[in-house]
Amino acid sequence: MKTENVGFIGLGNMGHPMAKNLEKAGFPLAVYNRDIAKTKDFEAQSTVYKEIVDLVSDNAIIFTMLTNDDAVREVYSKILELPINGKLFVDMSTIAQDASIKLADQLKEKGATFLDAPVAGSTKPATEGTLIIMVGGEQTDLERAKPYLEKMGKAIKHLGENGKGLAAKLAINYFLSIIYQGLAETILFSDQLGIDRSEMLEIINDSASGSGATKVKTPLLVEGNYTAAFALDLMLKDIRLAQQAGAAYPLLSTLLDTYQNAHDKGLGQLDVIGIIESIKPS
């Protein structure tokens, strides 16, 4: 298999373990993060860059995993000023679908290619390399990126042209926002009725209502420890993105109100299941 020099920009809670899986696979890897401290444990095996422009100039395939639309715009505004003919950019961030499609068009005008490839899964599957990766873009570009994506995810779903990966991501996160609010309300109700929380969660997880989503949040709910695997504010962002993309269903306004209220109470940096702290009776 021919390998190309690979760059990874954005070493946050998700990007760091994803890039680590590329490093562990032995690919020639370069990394950049705005906070240089997060690059420290890449110094032994990979190349750490202090400037985005240098990383992009020296590498053929560049992955980006950034927080939101503003962060993506900031990074790619620098990239679009460079000679990038022949390079492939793979954005794994969750941003607005129309913003991603516009970015794809801008990169193509410069002779580069682009995939939107957001992921389903939080920090544990990111560490284990078992994410589900939803891809929008050309098949030939996906084939070029696939050897690297396969080290980050257990399944790669090609859903069509640019923007379709993000379409799937917004849909799945809309569903997850419903699950987490429903789970939080159910646990609060069972608390009120005097059911031990561990027992209730065991019943949920062993029944038809259980899922990977409920199981991964069970330890947090039992321990009352809401350290973020996927921050509540990120879910609020994704609900808003779903609204912008056309979601106008009965639960949407409830979800927006609930997650916004949690943000307003200062809970936005907790894990998404920390929503329970916002809706529990005072």
- What are the residue numbers of the active site? 169
Radius of gyration of the chain (CA): 20
Q: What is the DSSP letter of 183?
A: H
**Which H or E element spans position 62?**
strand 61-64
Backbone φ and ψ of 101, nearest 5°: -65, -40
Q: What does the alpha-carbon distance between residue 164 and residue 68 come to, in Å, rounded to a whole number?
A: 18
Give me the torsion for CA of 147, 153, 159, 165, rounded to 10°. -110
Report the amino acid identity of residue 144. R
How far apart CA 100 and CA 102 sit, in angstroms, is: 5
Query: Which runs of E-coded beta strand occur in 74-184?
Result: 88-91, 113-116, 119-120, 131-135, 153-158
Beta pairing, strands 153-158 & 6-9: unpaired
